[in-house]
A and B are shown apart, each in its own frame.
Chain A
């Protein structure tokens, strides 16, 4: 990948790293900011969402969950970015970002419910501004610009973050959203997870640019390209972007270079379009943090056993909640289209409910 390009852009947008593939610190500037508390917070959340993700795939295989979009390999990008959020901020995720939304405070059981075809899965906890996942590509980028614009008008220091993949950068809404955000200098973070593939299409067929970060130049917007499998790099660089936004310095484009280890969804078979060996050299973000922890005396078997037990129990409970959730209400087919149901819709609803009533006689 990348051999056909001149090298100036990757030199201009080097992948920011704090730890390397072997878990060694390569950027001393952050060494003092890496505390045990931070290490444990990152590790705990990455293990938590990885366990959630793997359980989802198992549930799907057992016929207990619908089609599911896994994010394994992207835990550092999702946790590192979501931990920089605070109450009052706005999150505009895609269908592959529930690792980020759960880290920010979305309910696990509700998230499973979403993948089981339940509307309740899109309703965030009270006070958490988490949008339903964008299923069309790139549309949510403009929503983030609009919500951030609203925060600017209110004079708050809340920000909006839009999550999107590499394929989204080919859509018109990527351009329209970044342009709006930069024209109105809104407090938004455009967090790109460049995971190498848009379903089956690799990044070099997606664009003829060397990096996604460089696209920000066109909008007069700061950008940074980071090693998205390095949770510290993600956490610290996104913090910087958030601080800029919170202090009125406008939007930032962040390119987190990562890797989708699994399939696009449980309905997809990646062996059709990529070699098994591809990506093998990429060190998994969780393993990488573990190497760092071992190298730096943060490895504590007891603590790890404890959190694994805690997380398993939490996920068991979430699955139990999902599976014992009251049956979907037929009336919800009709009830949330308008605040006040128009007569012509009410008539359709009543006719259908009467039909169901006759069927059950």
Chain B
């Protein structure tokens, strides 16, 4: 198996190149995705190779991008729509909520929307305001769409290919913070990773830390810190947020008997609360301490001079580790 060192953004680019190459019904739509290769270079070189007809610079029009993708998707094409930043998806929210996610149901599967929406998300890169939102919950709450959020180059490539193979709409969230911070060997060939399956990033026996996207790094740093005090943390990367890997969560917390959830989204109605429910439903009698949540606050993501105070930090996670260990 040939591999190549890739960053997460290169892995995304590589996956899209494979998809465009093998199926001429696939196309990429978005703002600045063509000649410019995307503001993060996710589509770099793709328009050059596959032409303006398949890697399309659209008008600056999020509802237009998603709405026209619905028309293309029901009429034989497989669009990958890029929303430049998740914080700019709101004009398309109506299209996603009222059509993309429920057209299959409304037409008893006569019309389906095989569409992948890619969106960079998250804080921590000193981006201008609104560019740093982390609103996965707006979509995990929405019936009829899957939500994926990889944290590594390898997972990004395999999950993006799986998203393209999926017959239903998928929102593919890319942690901007991880775009270039991790480089790893990624197979150059095609492979896919099953949607809905998380993985154990670090094995441990005392506390389970559940996270995804850019928060995996935070969880790992906290785990390393705790290890110095002899506490063994198991870190789970959920990778898919809907459907969520309940079996993995249950198995891990039943082993460790303590759980901490880390997410950068706001706390109230955050996905962490669903994970608490999953633990409650599957593992109530195993737990030795109340479940901790380390999350962003119920405030708009701050301007970047203050964003470090919004984002969960390893130190905050370590505090929670101590709390569950000493309960």
Contact = CB atoms under 8 A, between A and B. Distances in A.
B5 interface: no
B297 to A, nearest CB: 28
B70 interface: yes
A345 B144 CA distance: 11
Given A149-B68, A150-B71, A342 B243 contact: yes
B246 A151 contact: no
B196 A150 contact: no
Contacts of A123: 107-108, 110
A1 B66 CA distance: 37
A132 B106 CA distance: 7
A37 interface: no
Contact of A145 (B67, B105, B146): B67
A342 B77 CA distance: 24
A143 B108 contact: no
Interface string A109-138: 000000000011011100001011001100
A149 B108 contact: no
A336 B104 contact: yes
B243 A345 contact: yes
A179 B108 contact: no
Interface string B33-72: 0000000000000000000010000110101101111111
Interface of A is mostly: helix
Contact of B53 (A147, A153, A332): A153
Nearest to A181: B68
Contacts of A132: 103, 106-107, 111
A149 B72 contact: yes
A162 to B, nearest CB: 10
B243 A343 contact: yes
Contacts of B196: 342-343
B53 A173 contact: no
A212 interface: no
A199 interface: no
Contacts of A343: 196, 243, 246
B290 interface: no
A150 B67 contact: no
B108 A146 contact: no
Interface string B92-111: 00110011000111111111
Interface string A327-361: 00000100011111011110000000000000000
B-side interface size class: 35 or more
A154 B76 contact: yes
A149 B75 CA distance: 9
A44 interface: no
Contacts of A176: 59, 61, 63-64, 67
B105 A337 contact: yes
A177 interface: yes
B63 A172 contact: yes
Contact of B75 (A150, A332, A345): A150
A119 B75 CA distance: 21
Contacts of B91: 172
B71 A336 contact: no
Contacts of A146: 67-73, 75
A161 to B, nearest CB: 12
A120 B107 CA distance: 7
A336 B76 CA distance: 19
Contacts of A337: 104-105, 143-144
A351 to B, nearest CB: 11
Interface string A162-180: 0000000000110011011
Contacts of B243: 342-345
B96 to A, nearest CB: 11
A121 to B, nearest CB: 10
Nearest to B74: A147
Nearest to B110: A123
A338 B68 contact: no
B71 A148 contact: yes
Nearest to A118: B108
A224 interface: no
B71 A119 contact: no
A150 B103 CA distance: 18
Contacts of B178: none
B244 interface: yes
A168 to B, nearest CB: 13
A106 interface: no
Contacts of B95: 139, 142, 173
Contacts of A254: none
Contacts of B72: 146-147, 149-150
B168 interface: yes
Contacts of B61: 176, 179-180
B300 interface: no
B112 interface: yes
Contacts of B246: 343-344
A25 B68 CA distance: 41
B27 to A, nearest CB: 8
A216 interface: no
Contacts of B107: 119, 122-123, 131-132, 336
A147 B71 contact: yes
Q: Which 6 A-B pairs have the closest CB atoms?
A: A146-B71, A142-B67, A146-B68, A342-B243, A150-B75, A147-B71
Interface of B: 53, 58-59, 61, 63-64, 66-77, 91, 94-95, 98-99, 103-112, 143-144, 146, 167-168, 196, 242-244, 246
22 contacts: A90-B75, A122-B107, A131-B111, A139-B94, A139-B98, A142-B66, A142-B68, A144-B71, A145-B64, A145-B67, A172-B63, A172-B91, A176-B59, A176-B64, A179-B59, A180-B61, A336-B104, A338-B104, A338-B146, A338-B168, A340-B167, A344-B246
Given A139-B94, A149-B71, A180-B58, 10 more contacts: A119-B106, A123-B107, A123-B110, A131-B107, A132-B106, A132-B111, A173-B67, A180-B67, A336-B109, A342-B243
Interface of A: 90, 119-120, 122-124, 129, 131-132, 135-136, 139, 141-151, 153-154, 160, 172-173, 176-177, 179-180, 183, 332, 336-340, 342-345
